[in-house]
Amino acid sequence: MNSSSITHAVINLSALRHNQKVLQKKAPNSQILAVVKANAYGHGMVKIAQALKGIHALGVARLNEALLLRDKGITTPIVLLEGFFHANDINTLQQYNLQTVIHSQQQLEALIEAKLDKPLQVWLKLDTGMHRLGFHGEQFDCAYQRLKQSKNVIQPIHLITHFHCADELDNNITSKQLAFFTEHIKTDSGLNSLANSAATLAWPATHADVIRPGIALYGISPFADKRADDFNLQPVMTLKSQLIAVRTHQAGESVGYGANWTSKKETILGVVAVGYGDGYPRMAPEGTPVLVNGRLVPIVGRISMDMLTVDLGSDCHDQVGDDVTLWGDGLPATQVANHIGTIAYELVSKLTSRVALQYVP
């Protein structure tokens, strides 16, 4: 490794394949639509897509994500989870063999009116209660009939919905959403898809034909209060850096911008070469854990653009050049996220281009 990648994310592809197997075992009768939007949650979309074998489809959120996958030679079916945003993109979908969600009247009319040589595979979205995208009950039935009669649409039409509380194990909203979806299934519709990671892990009744895991594939728990290894999931990303300074620090001295932390006693501080310029959240408070030589040590002082500081303790033996783990192996991203007041999804997907992704097969 060269010196420019002192801070890098190790991406463990065998952990990814392991997680795929775990999810497949959880939902043995379902196919997997692997969600790789947002650069595969920061893990590198193309490499992740290449490593996933035997899946039903890849899910993305933007047309340019789908086009990048096609440009890199990936022939797996791709679903645009929010569909197309402009009518003039419909021909591109056909040209690159992309499947589309239809969630709104505007999309429906545009697709029916488009001049296409070949029909598209459509996933019609039912709003079962999230109230973000999708058709309500009666409009859904009407949209289904319109699409059924359109020569631009491959038959049968697949059906899709999304859960908004599946990560809350005692919240019966998910059961209500499932019941509403089941009421609206058509006798002649195609595949049904409801379950994100949380539903795949916790709500087996929702598995249906196609599960749509994102975060769990990357070995991260979708539940704030459950660990990934409770489900035998392994972290795919480990964000690593190094100590670039180890300094004795007197009682009463502050560290960093704003001087907002002052040591109560003499200690040894470590300076780690990672900061918000790499995507480590500036909002991380004092006490957020960092893994140094196998033990958790607390962040002290503010996060800078290129560095953060940890209290190594007065009797430590850590040295400049020692490895530091910010999250991943040995320190679940969910645990770090809980400290910061965010979710692990945001941590992994916000790494900046300064962080090299280093793949381990």
- By the rule CB under 6 A, 43 interacts with ligand PLP: no
Q: In the set 35, 102, 292, 312, which binds ligand PLP (CB under 6 A)?
A: 35
- Contact region for ligand PLP (CB under 6 A) — 24-32, 210-218, 241-249, 274-282? 210-218
Residue from 21, 72, 176, 257 carrying the catalytic annotation: 257
End-to-end CA, the chain: 16
The Cα–Cα gap between 224 and 91 comes to 41
Nearer to ligand PLP, 222 or 279 (CB): 222
Nearer to ligand PLP, 214 or 281 (CB): 214
Side-chain-side CA neighbours of residue 122 (13 Å):
31
The Cα–Cα gap between 339 and 330 comes to 16
The Cα–Cα gap between 221 and 226 comes to 7
Nearer to ligand PLP, 163 or 276 (CB): 163
Nearer to ligand PLP, 35 or 333 (CB): 35
Examine the residue annotation and report whether 37 is marked as an active-site residue of this protein: yes
**Minimum distance of ligand PLP from residue 214's CB (angstroms):** 3
- Enumerate residues 6+ apart whose C-beta is below 8 A from 336: 284, 288, 289, 326, 327, 344, 347
- Contact region for ligand PLP (CB under 6 A) — 180-188, 215-223, 233-241, 297-305? 215-223
Residue 333: C-alpha distances to residues 175, 292, 354 (Å):
29, 15, 19
Q: In the set 83, 190, 222, 270, which binds ligand PLP (CB under 6 A)?
A: 222
Residue from 26, 37, 125, 240 carrying the catalytic annotation: 37
Number of other residues whose CB lies within 10 A of the CB of residue 42: 23
- Contact region for ligand PLP (CB under 6 A) — 90-98, 178-186, 208-216, 287-295? 208-216
Q: How, if at all, do strands 192-193 and 158-160 pair?
A: parallel
The residue behind tokens 């192996």 is 329
Nearer to ligand PLP, 197 or 263 (CB): 197
- Binding residues for ligand PLP, how many (CB under 6 A)? 12
- By the rule CB under 6 A, 215 interacts with ligand PLP: yes
- Contact region for ligand PLP (CB under 6 A) — 12-20, 213-221, 253-261, 305-313? 213-221
Compute the radius of gyration of the chain from its Cα atoms: 23
Examine the residue annotation and report whether 265 is marked as an active-site residue of this protein: no
Distance of CA 221 to the CA centre of its chain: 10
**Minimum distance of ligand PLP from residue 55's CB (angstroms):** 14
- By the rule CB under 6 A, 196 interacts with ligand PLP: yes
Q: Is there a contact between 217 and 19 (Cβ–Cβ < 8 Å)?
A: yes
- Indicate the length of the chain as a whole number: 361
**Minimum distance of ligand PLP from residue 176's CB (angstroms):** 18
**Minimum distance of ligand PLP from residue 213's CB (angstroms):** 5
Nearer to ligand PLP, 222 or 328 (CB): 222
**Minimum distance of ligand PLP from residue 196's CB (angstroms):** 4
- Contact region for ligand PLP (CB under 6 A) — 23-31, 214-222, 324-332, 334-342? 214-222
**Minimum distance of ligand PLP from residue 90's CB (angstroms):** 20
The Cα–Cα gap between 148 and 151 comes to 8
Q: Is there a contact between 191 and 209 (Cβ–Cβ < 8 Å)?
A: yes
- By the rule CB under 6 A, 81 interacts with ligand PLP: yes
**Minimum distance of ligand PLP from residue 26's CB (angstroms):** 12
The Cα–Cα gap between 355 and 109 comes to 43
The kind and range of the H/E element at 59 are strand 57-60
Residue 20: C-alpha distances to residues 2, 192, 216 (Å):
32, 20, 9
The Cα–Cα gap between 109 and 223 comes to 38
* CA nearest to 60, candidates 90, 216, 48, 221: 48
- By the rule CB under 6 A, 214 interacts with ligand PLP: yes
Chain residues in the site for ligand PLP (CB under 6 A)? 35, 37, 81, 162, 196-197, 212-216, 222
> Which residues participate in catalysis according to the annotation?
37, 257
